[in-house]
Amino acid sequence: MKKFLIVGLGNIGAEYAETRHNIGFKVVEALAHKHEQSFETQKLGDLATVKIKGRSLLLLKPSTYMNLSGKAVLYWMEKEKIPLENILVVTDDIHLPFGSIRLKAKGSDGGHNGLKDIQEKLNTVQYNRYRFGVGADFGAGRQVDYVLGEWSTEEREKLKERLEKSTSLIESFALAGLARTMNQFNNS
């Protein structure tokens, strides 16, 4: 069975649950819910497994806090013997308008500390990432407050549809591959 590691980035704790920075957690939670799976606390994170057409998707919510996410990614990648090309990291992106989808095979950390740590621990920028746009509706020096702030009422209303789109994207990544999924979902 072909294995994938789908990592949703976020911070543990109730105070972060509904923040923009935790969209990675929200996305993997939505996928687990869709397939009627639940998360269990394990080493360095909460995990759930979703099986789709001969593929096994290990969903990971690191418990290391955002800035140390690489430790959990590396541990589960090595433990489960998942190749780098079968990893997908789901993260928030302030450089994209709310709800925008960008799937990429590699790239810079874009100033995102979670991606920066993953890049350092894996010693490469060659890993797949799914950037979920959270917008940049903040003034100078207010970025941290914004990403750690909760969704607006308008965003919350649109989030359900965006989470459904996100689960379809991840399933497509596992079943159809990166290139076809990028063609189908980027800019949707």
Q: Is 21 known to be catalytic?
A: yes
In total, the chain counts a number of residues equal to 188
d(CA 52, CA 159): 24
User: Residue 62 and residue 74: Cα distance in Å, rounded?
Assistant: 11
**Hey, what are 60's tokens?**
């990971």
AA identity, residue 27: V
How far, in Å, CA of 84 to CA of 5, rounded? 9
Q: Which residue has the tokens 């069975």?
A: 1
Residue 181 structure tokens: 């999924």
CA atoms of 34 and 32, how far apart (whole Å): 5
d(CA 157, CA 50) in angstroms, rounded, equals 27
Which residues are designated catalytic? 21
